[in-house]
Structures are given as structure tokens and as C-alpha cells.
């Protein structure tokens, strides 16, 4: 691949400092777009939608047609793994995910081998998107990180995670066994995604907050490291972005220890933290407040400029600190991309 067509996102992940950062948005596909809402209404059940390569490829490409983004992220969900391992998962309209009772860990472990095959539609989505996307725009695959996925599997829904943390303290052996199952199935799933066209792999640890240091080590740092080592052992050298959302004071330790190429920072990340991670040899991503993107106005412009000023002296990917809110005006997304890219 010539330097000029190497996607800007991959250059940033290789450690290059660029004239302007690549830009993409978490949850760029989804309810903020009218064309998504129209597709969603036709697609029916959300899980079936995620497993329909034609429709999922369309949802992935919708924001790429509308905006000059540097990367697409495959349309899927972090809860496809528990389903592939045999736990019921469904989405209640307007309420979010629901999961059936947690099966015995041994039963989940028995399904690891079969789970990757049950996720083959996501590989098909990736191949379709890669075939349509311009070479200078990168394609991102992803999975939920084991602890975040385990919290949904244990609690059966989105929540404050108290039941999941209580479970972790009361049943340490069971939690470790569950995390081991998720490490193995997630590593295989990510290898499959890379072989199907994903050029970047992202681990979403959306619930890294409120964890004591020893717990953070055991349920975040160790499983992330194990997944990346397994993916590398399979001969896949695709760069990783790790997103330990809410980890606060433990983000620097995460960046120093987990063999990711980039750390995605949430809204609270300081300028100094980002620079410290860059000085340690890693790329950073983030961390515009999704509420500010929605609010717009001069404060949005000023913050976009400040983020670029504080972080683009090193390898940096422009993004949000969390996903685009459904009621974000499209003009705010366009304006922000224009401010970052000049396009
Ligand atoms: O554009 C993209 O970012 C790609 C697709 C994507 C989705 N989910 C589609 C989706 C990605 C990367 C995810 C990740 C995801 N899913 C996370 C981690 C990121 C984060 O936001 O913290 C989590 C925790 C989930 C689990 C999940 N999926 C929840 C809690 C919900 C309900 C809340 C909500 O935002 O609706 C979902 C549903 C979901 N996943 C939607 C989309 C577009 C909305 C479903 C719909 O359109 O009805």
C-alpha cells in the first residue's frame, strides 16, 4: 500500500503524528441519522438486524456516505457474544438490552468452539463493507471487553453494575471462569473479524469505573492482555484500541501495561494524561463530550480546537468520549468534522 493511500487512521495507530488527526465517532451509525431510523424500522428485531450482512453493511456505510469520516465501525453489538455462547439476549423497545438467566459456566465453555461460527454473519458484513469502502478509509471491528460483557450476563440488563461487582466478590472462582470463557471466545471472534477485513480492533470496556485497583488488575488489565496475546498468537497483527471508560486514575496503568496500540479516552481525561500516554509510545483517541457535540455552539468549536491543540503534537485520533447521542443535530457532526479536517 502506498503511503498516500494508507488510511490516516492506520498511520496514527502506527505512531505517526499527522498534520490533522483522523476522525470518526463512536456510535456514528445509529439513531442520530434519519436514514438509520428508516432502515431500523424495516430491519425488525435488533439482533436479527446485526446478523443480516446486507442490512448491517448498509447501516455501517450510512455515516460514511453522509460525512467525510476517516473510518467506519462495523454495525454489530457487544451482546452478540453472550448470545453466541447460548444465553438469551433481546432488546426491549425504548429500554435497551435484556438477557436470560446466566447458564452454568461449563455450559458456556462448551459453546466456545461453536460461538465463532454463529457470528460468521459479522465477518460477512465486514467483507462487504471493505469491498465498498474507499482504500483511504479504514474499517474497524470490535468486541465488548470481558468484564463489561460479564456485567450484562450477570445482571441481565444495563444497570449500575452493583450486582455484578457483588458477584465478583462473592464468587471469585466463577467470575474468573466466566472471564476465561469470554477471553477465549472474544479472541476467536476478533481473529475472524481481522481475517474478514477489519483493519483495527477495538475493545469496549464501557464499565471500567469504580473498580478497586486489585479488581481492575484482575478483571480489566489481565483479560485485555490475554485477548491481545491470543490474537497475536493466531498470527494477526491488526492494531488494537482499548477503551477503559471511566477508569480515571487507572488509565495510565492500563496504557502502560496492556499491549494496545491506542487508548481511547473518555470525557474526563486531562490534557496531561493524554500526553503522558503519547510519551509512553502509544496513540490516544478521544475525548470530546458527546453532550457538547449535541449542544453545539461556540463552546463546541472552542473545545474541538483545544483538543487538537493539546493532543495533536503526538499520535492522536479525534473522537468522542462516549457514543453519539440519538438526538444530536447532524449539523453539529458536520461542523465538527469540518473543523477537524477542513472538509
Ligand atoms: O456506530 C457504532 O458505534 C457501531 C455499532 C455499535 C452498536 N453498539 C450498535 C447499537 C457499537 C460499537 C456498540 C457497542 C455497545 N453496545 C456498547 C459499548 C459502547 C458503549 O456505548 O458503551 C454497549 C455497552 C452496548 C450494549 C447496548 N447496545 C446497549 C446498552 C444498547 C441500548 C442502549 C442504546 O443506546 O440503545 C444497545 C443497542 C444498540 N447498539 C443500538 C445501536 C445502534 C440502538 C438499537 C436501536 O437502534 O434500536
Look at residue 3 and tell me if it is in a domain: no
Look at residue 271 and tell me if it is in a domain: yes
Look at residue 164 and tell me if it is in a domain: yes
Peptide bond into 285 cis (omega under 30): no
Rounded to a whole number of angstroms, the distance between the first and last alpha carbons of the chain is 24
Ligand 1: which residue has its CA nearest to atom 20?
Answer: 206
Which of these is catalytic: 20, 27, 118, 339?
Answer: 27
**Which residues form the domain of 252?**
8-341
Looking at the structure of the chain, the number of domains it has is 1
- Per-residue pLDDT reduced to its tens digit, 146-161: 999 999 999 999 887 8
Ligand 1: which residue has its CA nearest to atom 34?
Answer: 96
Bridge partners (DSSP) of residue 201 are 141, 240
Distances from the Cα of 288 to the Cα of 24, 28, 305, 321, 327, angstroms: 11, 14, 11, 5, 16
Across residues 186-193, what is the average pLDDT? 98
- The β-bridge relationship of strands 89-92 and 200-205 is unpaired
Look at residue 1 and tell me if it is in a domain: no
| Ligand 1 first shell, C-beta below 6 A | 26-31, 40, 46, 73, 75, 77-79, 96-97, 142, 158, 204, 206, 323
pTM of the model: 0.97
3-class secondary structure, 205: strand
Q: Residue 89: which pLDDT band, with cuts at 50, 70 and 90?
A: very high
Reported residue count of the chain is 343
Half-sphere exposure of 304 (CA within 13 A, CB side): 24
3-class secondary structure, 283: strand
- The β-bridge relationship of strands 89-92 and 96-99 is antiparallel
Question: Is 31 in the active site?
Answer: yes
Question: Contact, 114 vs 189, CB < 8 A?
Answer: no
In the predicted structure, residue 4 carries a pLDDT above the cut 90: no
Look at residue 307 and tell me if it is in a domain: yes
Candidate of 63, 73, 78, 206 to mutate for ligand 1, largest count of ligand atoms within 8 Å of Cβ = 78
- Per-residue pLDDT reduced to its tens digit, 13-48: 999 999 999 999 999 999 999 999 999 999 989 999
User: What mean pLDDT, rounded, does the chain reach?
Assistant: 97
Look at residue 234 and tell me if it is in a domain: yes
Look at residue 2 and tell me if it is in a domain: no
Q: Where residue 140 sits, what CATH number does that domain have?
A: 3.20.20.210
Look at residue 237 and tell me if it is in a domain: yes
Amino acid at each position: 500500500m502506498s503511503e498516500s493511500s494508507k488510511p490516516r487512521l492506520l498511520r496514527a495507530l502506527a505512531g505517526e503524528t499527522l498534520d490533522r488527526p483522523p476522525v470518526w465517532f463512536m456510535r456514528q451509525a445509529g439513531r442520530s441519522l434519519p436514514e438509520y431510523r428508516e432502515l431500523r424500522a424495516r430491519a425488525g428485531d435488533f439482533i436479527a438486524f446485526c446478523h443480516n450482512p446486507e442490512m448491517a453493511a448498509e447501516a455501517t456505510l450510512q455515516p460514511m456516505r453522509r460525512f467525510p469520516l476517516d473510518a467506519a465501525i462495523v454495525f454489530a453489538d457487544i451482546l452478540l457474544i453472550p448470545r453466541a455462547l447460548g444465553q438469551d439476549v433481546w432488546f426491549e423497545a425504548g429500554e435497551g438490552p435484556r438477557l436470560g438467566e446466566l447458564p452454568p459456566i461449563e455450559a458456556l465453555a462448551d459453546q466456545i468452539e461453536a460461538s465463532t461460527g454463529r457470528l460468521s454473519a459479522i465477518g460477512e458484513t465486514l467483507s462487504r463493507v471493505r469491498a465498498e469502502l474507499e482504500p483511504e478509509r479504514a474499517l474497524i471491528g470490535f468486541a465488548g471487553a470481558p468484564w463489561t460483557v460479564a456485567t450484562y450476563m450477570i445482571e441481565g440488563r444495563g444497570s449500575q453494575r452493583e450486582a455484578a461487582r457483588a458477584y465478583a466478590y462473592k464468587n471469585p472462582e466463577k467470575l474468573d471462569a466466566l472471564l476465561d470463557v469470554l477471553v477465549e471466545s472474544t479472541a476467536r471472534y476478533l481473529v475472524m473479524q481481522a481475517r474478514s477485513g477489519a483493519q483495527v480492533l477495538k475493545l469496549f470496556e464501557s464499565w471500567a469505573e469504580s473498580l478497586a485497583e486489585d479488581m481492575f488488575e484482575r478483571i480489566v488489565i489481565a483479560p485485555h492482555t490475554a485477548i491481545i496475546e491470543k490474537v497475536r498468537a493466531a498470527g494477526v497483527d491488526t492494531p488494537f484500541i482499548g477503551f477503559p471508560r471511566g477508569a480515571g486514575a487507572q488509565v495510565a496503568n492500563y496504557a502502560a501495561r496492556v499491549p494496545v496500540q491506542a487508548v481511547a479516552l473518555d470525557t474526563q481525561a486531562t490534557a496531561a494524561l493524554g500526553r503522558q500516554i503519547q510519551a509512553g509510545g502509544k496513540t490516544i483517541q478521544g475525548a470530546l463530550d458527546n453532550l457538547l457535540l449535541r449542544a453545539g455552539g461556540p463552546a463546541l468549536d472552542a473545545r474541538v480546537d483545544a483538543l487538537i491543540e493539546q493532543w495533536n503534537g503526538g499520535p492522536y485520533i479525534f473522537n468522542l468520549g462516549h457514543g453519539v447521542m440519538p438526538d444530536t443535530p447532524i449539523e453539529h457532526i458536520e461542523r465538527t468534522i469540518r473543523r477537524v479536517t477542513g472538509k
